[in-house]
């Protein structure tokens, strides 16, 4: 195998870019799950965000509006999930799956006529001479704003969940909705807020795929990134900073296997392209078993619907 | 405003009425969607739901209904057993692909031998292929407590890359001038799965689907395992006291659903699809999830739901060719159906009470 042709600085710089979609989607889903809701529709919300963001960016010419459009698309679809699970008390697993099936279909429908178009370029944040620093420059100071935004979202989420009243309420709702209800918190409304946040983040992550990573529109463009994001939440055992680590890890694997494909390694392309999924499974196994079981850290009422009898 | 009041017992009326209401609501919402797309909604709905059964080309399309319904029912029956017990195998698409590859591989390995034994062996190999692929999440779940939803789903993507490798590599037709895709089974009699009567749409897959539905019905109604599945789904704690081993149930339900999905894949690839190609799978494994829920996780219901879903496929294709309806619109339509079903389902367990000002 030829690792020599792979430049580590460029590798790190590009893994930070590759990690953005799953990081945004995963941190959104983390907040959703912290409030006790399991939304398996991340893939659907991401792909909706991808097409809504793409259409907005192409039509307005502004990539920034594109990301807002993507967030709106993801949040819009997540509202369907919220309506079904919070108002009509539908099964969360089934509704999440429905969300993914529906999102894949609707995005393909909306995307007709947008194949083969290039979206407007998202420019790098100008850091001036800082970007010229050897090694550190390309890694830290030569990215578009969403890369920094995604790290900021992690930091803010960590701070909100850890140190604010809002975070305490979200965690209370996720650990015991009955107790939270007894204290007078509107369980379903708080969950609605979390679900919408999760949808917006997933949508933005999807928009990053179609606007920066690929950048064009093809049906089912997210190719399982939403499911990997769900796995990363488990990997992170519901801790925001570990989402960052997980996302960079998977970003690294993705970039590395793409680089190996391009470098013409001895491993067949097919086996390289299935590696992110296989490694996800292995990581899930490691995190779910043994003493430090991730499941022990899971929100106590994850996946259970709340119906206020009184 | 309204509030939901929990019913003391689930309503039997709404249990059976919700799928009907959901289908009607989907027709209304779908009609709006079709109108937005610039087609005549009434004509499209008629093309989808009426023409395949009673229309001009019904003699051909009725057969197509059976072709599409077969795999959907077969997969959904397997999934429904697990879903009832709270075991979520959503990677049926991967098990379907692997069943097809393994079964077809066995057949192609002995090409061009002609023997009556070849097809039965391929069927068994197909079932084993799907079973083995489902065993991965099942074993990881029981040994390491890994989430079966995520693992089974990840394995779909892995199966798809293996399929790509199979059709361009190890199963490629050596006489195919380098084109991707395996030998065509329709020209290899011992390993093909033709229709019993031309145009009827009935092949071994359809038979297997009906047999599976019958067996699943007996299992759920008469067998202790069926009782354990239902008990685990409704009251996991009670099931434990009753002595149900959750691990055994996971292995059983995952294995059965994997084997049935593998069978569906084999029947499809040797019959209607004809060969292993990079995109011979058309998402039956995912649509079967909708079928399972639409059929209320009940074998008889699933048979009906399978035909209804087949109707949307066949009618949707008709609407696509005749009226220019985008193919993706049908996917949206199917997704909507599941949404409405899940939403309306609330009526089974809850009563809606309208609240007027001042009353509580």
Lowest mean pLDDT among A59-68, B128-137, B173-182: B173-182
Q: Which helix (H) or strand (E) holds B2?
A: strand B2-6
Q: What is B122-149 written as a DSSP string? A: HHHHHHHHHHHHHHHHHHHHHHH---HH
Q: How far apart are CA B311 and CA B62, in angstroms?
A: 9
pLDDT of B131 strictly over 90: yes
Dihedral sign of CA atoms A3, A5, A9, A11 in order: negative
Tokens matching residue B122: 């391929």
Mean pLDDT of A173-199: 91
Cβ neighbours around A165 below 10 Å, total: 8
Long-range contacts of range B193-200, CB-CB < 8 Å, 24 or more positions apart? B193/B119, B193/B267, B193/B270, B193/B271, B194/B271, B195/B63, B195/B271, B199/B59, B199/B60, B199/B63, B200/B63, B200/B66
Chain A residues in contact with B161 by the CB 8 A cut-off are 270-271, 273-274
* Minimum-distance CB partner of B154 among A40, A94, A277: A277
Q: What is the pLDDT of residue A201?
A: 95
pLDDT of A4 strictly over 70: no
Beta bridge partners of residue B352, listed in sequence order: B4
Dihedral sign of CA atoms A127, A128, A129, A132 in order: positive
Neighbouring C-alpha atoms within 13 Å toward the C-beta of A216: 8
Is A288 close to B147, i.e. CB distance below 8 A?
Answer: yes
pLDDT-derived band at A112, boundaries 50, 70, 90: confident
- B283: nearest CA partner in chain A: A101
Mean pLDDT of B295-321: 88
CB of A289 closer than 8 Å to CB of B146: yes
- B163: nearest CA partner in chain A: A270
User: In this structure, what DSSP letter does residue A302 have?
Assistant: T
Q: Is A122 left (phi over 0), alpha (psi -120 to 50) or beta?
A: beta
Most confident region among A84-88, A157-161, B231-235 by mean pLDDT: A157-161
Q: What is the pLDDT of residue B126?
A: 94
CB of B262 closer than 8 Å to CB of B102: yes
Q: What is the pLDDT of residue A23?
A: 93
CB of B84 closer than 8 Å to CB of B252: no
pLDDT of B351 strictly over 70: yes
Chain B residues in contact with A284 by the CB 8 A cut-off are 140, 146-147, 150-151
Please give the share of chain B, as a percent, with pLDDT higher than 90: 28
* Minimum-distance CB partner of B153 among A105, A227, A289: A227
Please give the share of chain A, as a percent, with pLDDT higher than 70: 95
Top residue of B36, B98, B146 to mutate, by most chain A CBs within 10 Å, is: B146
Q: How far apart are CA B103 and CA B119, in angstroms?
A: 9
- Cis bond before residue B112 (omega within 30° of 0): yes
pLDDT per residue as tens digits for the range B227-283 = 998 888 888 888 888 888 889 999 999 999 999 999 999 999 888 888 888 888 778
Lowest mean pLDDT among A196-200, A204-208, B55-59: B55-59
Question: Which segments within chain A are labelled E, that is strand?
Answer: none
Is A109 close to B346, i.e. CB distance below 8 A?
Answer: no
**Mean pLDDT across chain A:** 86
A94 CB within 8 Å of a chain B CB: yes
Dihedral sign of CA atoms B254, B259, B264, B266 in order: positive
Is A270 close to B147, i.e. CB distance below 8 A?
Answer: no
Dihedral sign of CA atoms A142, A144, A145, A147 in order: negative
Mean pLDDT of B26-32: 89
Q: What is the pLDDT of residue B278?
A: 81
Q: How far apart are CA B109 and CA B166, in angstroms?
A: 13
User: In this structure, what DSSP letter does residue A119 have?
Assistant: P
Q: How far apart are CA A13 and CA A65, in angstroms?
A: 25
* Minimum-distance CB partner of A102 among B4, B332, B343: B332
What are the respective helix, strand and coil percentages of chain A, to the nearest 5? 70, 0, 25
Is B332 close to A277, i.e. CB distance below 8 A?
Answer: no
Q: How far apart are CA A226 and CA A222, in angstroms?
A: 7
**Mean pLDDT across chain B:** 86
CB of B48 closer than 8 Å to CB of B245: no
Q: Which helix (H) or strand (E) holds B340?
A: helix B327-344
pLDDT of A139 strictly over 70: yes
pLDDT per residue as tens digits for the range B198-212 = 777 788 888 899 999
- A273: nearest CA partner in chain B: B161
A273 CB within 8 Å of a chain B CB: yes
- B332: nearest CA partner in chain A: A105
Tokens matching residue A93: 């697993």
Lowest mean pLDDT among A141-155, A168-182, A294-308: A294-308
- A285: nearest CA partner in chain B: B146
- The residue with greater pLDDT, A9 or A72, is A72
* Minimum-distance CB partner of B335 among A94, A98, A230: A98
Is A281 close to B146, i.e. CB distance below 8 A?
Answer: yes
Q: Nearest 5 degrees, angle CA A310-CA A88-CA A204?
A: 115
- Measured in degrees and rounded to the nearest 5, phi and psi for residue A161 equal -65, -35
Lowest mean pLDDT among A277-281, B111-115, B127-131, B294-298: B111-115
Burial class (CB in 10 A: 0-12, 13-18, 19+), A303: middle
Chain B residues in contact with A250 by the CB 8 A cut-off are none
Class of domain B38-325: mainly alpha
Is B346 close to A278, i.e. CB distance below 8 A?
Answer: no
pLDDT per residue as tens digits for the range A61-78 = 888 999 999 999 999 999
Beta bridge partners of residue A128, listed in sequence order: none
CA B3 to chain centre: 35
Mean pLDDT of B158-176: 85
- The residue with greater pLDDT, A294 or A197, is A197
Q: What is the pLDDT of residue B358?
A: 55
pLDDT-derived band at A3, boundaries 50, 70, 90: low
Q: What is the pLDDT of residue A1?
A: 43
Q: How far is CA B264 from CA A182, B285, B304, in A?
A: 50, 9, 18
Q: How far apart are CA A266 and CA A86, in angstroms?
A: 51
CB of A53 closer than 8 Å to CB of A216: no
Q: What is the pLDDT of residue A199?
A: 95
CB of B334 closer than 8 Å to CB of B289: no
CB of A32 closer than 8 Å to CB of A158: no
pLDDT per residue as tens digits for the range A215-233 = 888 888 888 889 889 989 9
Q: How far apart are CA A104 and CA A28, in angstroms?
A: 19
pLDDT of A26 strictly over 80: yes
Q: How far apart are CA B144 and CA B186, in angstroms?
A: 44
Q: How far apart are CA B360 and CA B357, in angstroms?
A: 8
Tell me the nearest-neighbour CA distance from B160 into chain A, angstroms.
9
Residues shown for chain B: 360
Beta bridge partners of residue B5, listed in sequence order: B351
Please give the share of chain B, as a percent, with pLDDT higher than 70: 98
Q: What is the pLDDT of residue A138?
A: 75
Chain B residues in contact with A188 by the CB 8 A cut-off are none
Mean pLDDT of B343-353: 83
Tokens matching residue B1: 């405003």
Q: Which helix (H) or strand (E) holds B351?
A: strand B350-354
Q: How far apart are CA B144 and CA A258, in angstroms?
A: 30
Counts for chain A of helices (H) and strands (E), in that order: 12, 0
Q: What is A73-113 written as a DSSP string? A: HHHHHHHHHHIIIIIS---HHHHHHHHHHHHHHHHHHHTTT
CB of B189 closer than 8 Å to CB of B198: no
Q: What is the pLDDT of residue B1?
A: 66
- The residue with greater pLDDT, B351 or A77, is A77
Q: What is the pLDDT of residue A13?
A: 83
User: Which residue ranges form the domains of chain A, and what is each CATH number?
Assistant: 8-119+135-297 (1.10.3470)
- The residue with greater pLDDT, A264 or B44, is B44
CB of A202 closer than 8 Å to CB of A49: yes
3-state secondary structure of A124: strand
Per the listing, tokens 């990363």 go with A232
Tell me the nearest-neighbour CA distance from B189 into chain A, angstroms.
32
β-pairing, B2-6 with B350-354? antiparallel
Is B345 close to A90, i.e. CB distance below 8 A?
Answer: yes
Most confident region among A139-143, A217-221, A256-260 by mean pLDDT: A217-221
């Amino acid at each position: 195998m030829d690792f020599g042709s792979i430049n580590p600085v460029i590798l790190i710089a590009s893994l930070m870019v590759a990690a953005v979609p799953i990081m945004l989607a995963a941190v959104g889903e983390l907040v959703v799950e912290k409030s006790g809701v399991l939304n398996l529709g991340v893939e659907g919300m991401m792909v909706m965000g991808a097409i809504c963001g793409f259409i907005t960016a192409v039509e307005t010419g502004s990539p920034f509006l594109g990301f807002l459009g993507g967030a709106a698309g993801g949040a819009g679809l997540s509202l369907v999930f919220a309506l079904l699970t919070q108002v009509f008390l539908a099964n969360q697993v089934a509704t999440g799956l429905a969300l993914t099936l529906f999102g894949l279909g609707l995005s393909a429908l909306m995307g007709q006529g947008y194949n083969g178009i290039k979206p407007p370029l998202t420019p790098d944040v100008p850091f001036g001479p800082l970007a010229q620093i050897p090694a550190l420059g390309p890694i830290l100071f030569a990215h578009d704003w969403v890369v920094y935004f995604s790290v900021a979202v992690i930091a803010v989420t960590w701070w909100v969940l850890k140190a604010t009243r809002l975070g305490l309420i979200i965690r209370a709702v996720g650990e015991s909705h009955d107790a939270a209800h007894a204290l007078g918190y509107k369980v379903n409304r708080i969950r609605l807020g979390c679900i919408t946040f999760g949808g917006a983040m997933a949508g933005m992550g999807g928009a990053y795929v179609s606007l920066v990573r690929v950048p064009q529109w093809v049906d089912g463009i997210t190719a399982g990134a939403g499911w990997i994001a769900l796995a990363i939440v488990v990997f992170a055992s519901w801790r925001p900073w570990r989402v960052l680590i997980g996302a960079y890890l998977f970003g690294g694997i993705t970039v590395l296997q793409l680089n190996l494909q391009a470098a013409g390694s001895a491993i067949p392309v097919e086996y390289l392209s299935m590696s992110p999924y296989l490694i996800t499974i292995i990581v899930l196994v490691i995190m779910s078993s043994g003493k430090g079981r991730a499941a022990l850290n899971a929100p106590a009422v994850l996946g259970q619907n709340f119906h206020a009898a009184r | 405003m309204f509030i939901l009041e929990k019913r003391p017992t689930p309503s039997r009326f709404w249990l059976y009425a919700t799928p009907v209401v959901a289908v009607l609501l989907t027709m209304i919402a779908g009609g709006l969607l079709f109108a937005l797309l610039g087609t005549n909604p009434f004509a499209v709905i008629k093309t989808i739901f009426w023409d395949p059964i009673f229309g001009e080309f019904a003699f051909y399309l009725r057969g197509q209904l059976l072709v599409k319904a077969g795999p959907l029912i077969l997969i959904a029956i397997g999934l429904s057993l697990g879903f009832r017990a709270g075991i979520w195998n959503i990677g049926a698409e991967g098990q379907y692909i692997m069943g097809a590859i393994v079964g077809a591989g066995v057949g192609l390995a002995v090409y061009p031998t002609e023997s009556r034994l070849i097809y039965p062996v391929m069927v068994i190999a197909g079932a084993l292929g799907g079973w083995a692929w489902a065993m991965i999440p099942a074993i990881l779940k029981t040994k390491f407590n890994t989430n079966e939803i995520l693992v089974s789903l990840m394995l779909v993507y892995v199966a798809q890359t293996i399929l790509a490798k199979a059709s361009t590599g190890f199963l490629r037709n050596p006489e195919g001038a380098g084109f991707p895709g395996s030998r065509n089974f329709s020209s290899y009699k011992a390993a093909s799965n033709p229709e019993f009567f031309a145009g009827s749409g009935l092949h071994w897959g359809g038979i297997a689907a009906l047999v599976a539905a019958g067996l699943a019905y007996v299992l759920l109604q008469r067998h202790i395992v069926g009782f354990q599945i239902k008990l685990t789904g409704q009251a996991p704690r009670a099931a434990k006291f009753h002595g149900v081993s959750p691990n055994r149930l996971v292995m059983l339900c995952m294995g059965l659903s994997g084997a049935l999905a593998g069978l569906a894949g084999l029947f499809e690839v040797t019959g209607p699809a004809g060969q292993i190609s990079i995109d011979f799978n058309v998402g039956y494994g995912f649509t079967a999830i909708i079928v399972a829920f639409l059929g209320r996780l009940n074998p008889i219901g699933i048979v009906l739901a399978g035909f209804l879903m087949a109707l949307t496929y066949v009618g949707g294709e008709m609407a696509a060719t005749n009226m220019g309806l985008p193919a993706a619109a049908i996917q949206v339509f199917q997704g909507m159906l599941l949404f409405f079903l899940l939403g309306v389902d609330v009526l089974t367990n809850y009563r809606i009470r309208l609240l007027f000002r001042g009353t509580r």
